[in-house]
A and B are shown apart, each in its own frame.
Chain A
Amino acid sequence: MIEDQYRARHPRLVKAAAAIERQLREYLEGTPHIDRVSARAKSIDRFVVKANKNDENGFAKYSDPLSQIQDQVGARIVGFYLSDIEAISTVVKRYYRPIETKSLVPDTEWSFGYFGKHFILLMPTGLVDNRDEEPTPEFFELQIKTLFQHAWSEAEHDVGYKPGTNPLTSDEQRQLAFTAAQAWGADRIFEELSKR
């Protein structure tokens, strides 16, 4: 049921993602140290998996996944250095209306893992034709990361969530944390070197 509903709206999400990507590229023209700008519609498989997730108490996490899941369209901007993240964020805030802004960091100073800046933004008006019965989602997610944050999260997602494999052992998780710490350190060093 939910899969059919999402499948029906998916072509519109693909169009919206393409339009968002074009728009972001236009807005970021002239902003230095941009490695890549991309946007995608969440795949049908991934949406269905997310829509059926349970919360920590075992109850369905989403009562209305089609309106509650806000990253059906997701965009990502990868910049070179840490200071570029703020410069890119400033451009983003100039053109889009956020309903959420988060800098994601590990829970404690003693742990290393995912770092990145996330926005939930209102879908701009006039981006896609809204005359069809099926509306475009009201929001999209935008992630802004450095090259090292991006590289780490992509590789971590690949090895950490591989379908059909056993969960990572404690030691393997520690190894991932070690690579996250190295990426964090590399960002710091390149930030300093970029200011020479």
Chain B
Amino acid sequence: MPITHIHTYLVHPTKGSTNPPETGGTEVGRSGKMFDLLEGIYDRSETECDIAISFNHAASGNQQNDCRDLILTYLQGPTVRRGQHIAKRLADATTHRSHLGLLFLIAGQEGFDHKIVVSRFPADSGILAEESAGGLSVEFLEKVFMKSAKSYKSVMYRHRSFNTGFWEGKATDKQVNSLDISIPNYWIAEFLDSDFRTTSAAGTRRLANAIKEAGKKATRASVKSEIAAAATLATGFAGRKLSAKGFVRSLALSQAAQDAIYAELKSGVVDETFQFDAAEFGRVISYRSVELDNGGMLTAEVGDFDGVFQRQQLKDGDRIRFSTEGKIVSEKLGKAKQ
């Protein structure tokens, strides 16, 4: 059995509180229905936790992070007391908007690797209905913890070395997955003092390069056109937390266009979450447009513009003749310029 210890804590939202209550905790036995539920969470964390994150270093620049230290201390000798420091850290990062939560620390050993899953279940209210011989009894429950709730959060760390490992983890945060940028990211940024493993600029550039290359290599006009449209719409994703796969899917691209973009991305990075950076996208894919006084407009990628359109200065003052040659791959009608 890989799970070695489970501890649980009732975490009150105490951020900004001057007199926070003590965070109570207890050990959970390694058998029974509760254990079966938690064992499922522990096992599924390998796939369910799909947001790659890494701890921030200390403000001094040293290779140190307070939250990582607490997790490592706990993992090297899991006790209620040691886990309580993690629970307190979570309470201090939790505002009243997030309500009460039930925290589970599930420690285990997977071969040479040490592993921990940290999960927070939000509190909700519910009704307990029990059938008996004579009928039905109902009871209102105030502290019900449901994994299916919108704000369920979890993080998994796994490494063989306590010394140099555990800088990277995999998290799941249904609020992050919602792509709603207005939701404060207290789980990853505040409690874990972490950030996405892939920076905004790196993730965006990788996606932009893939779109650019896919567009260049596409042979079918319809696929080329779809990819060009995706590039044009990309700026609308500014600030959104997404993966390359999320980006492609949200634009409902055809399978051929999706495949063309995925083919330009190395395996394992398609699902990596990052925050879309529109300025970075523009550094890779940007178009230059020239408008003439006869109503004509010429557009091409910045780096290619002068190669695509040949420019000839005419004798007649400032008049220019542009010429180009190619096959028509798409033709569009748009709104008249206001």
Contact = CB atoms under 8 A, between A and B. Distances in A.
Contacts of B167: 99, 122, 138
Q: Is the interface of B mostly helix, strand, loop or mixed?
A: loop
Interface residues of B, number: 29
B163 interface: yes
A120 B55 CA distance: 13
Contacts of B160: 67
A192 interface: no
B61 interface: yes
Interface string A134-174: 00001000000000000000000000000000000000000
Nearest to B167: A99
Nearest to A63: B163
B110 to A, nearest CB: 16
A95 interface: yes
Contacts of B161: 64, 67-68
Contacts of A120: 63
Given A63-B163, A67-B161, A122-B167, A101 B266 contact: no
B57 A64 contact: no
Given A63-B163, A67-B161, A122-B168, A96 B202 contact: yes
Interface in A93-142: 94-103, 120, 122, 124-127, 129-131, 138
A179 interface: no
A62 to B, nearest CB: 9
Contact of A67 (B61, B164, B198): B164
A6 B164 CA distance: 17
A23 to B, nearest CB: 9
Interface in B235-256: none
20 contacts: A67-B163, A94-B199, A94-B201, A96-B199, A97-B195, A98-B57, A100-B57, A101-B57, A101-B61, A122-B54, A122-B168, A122-B197, A125-B52, A125-B197, A126-B206, A126-B269, A127-B266, A129-B266, A130-B268, A138-B167
Ranked 8 nearest A-B pairs via Cβ: A126-B266, A126-B269, A101-B61, A100-B63, A94-B201, A95-B202, A67-B164, A67-B161
Interface of A: 27, 63-64, 67-68, 70, 94-103, 120, 122, 124-127, 129-131, 138
Interface of B: 52, 54-55, 57, 61-63, 160-161, 163-165, 167-168, 195, 197-202, 205-206, 265-269, 272
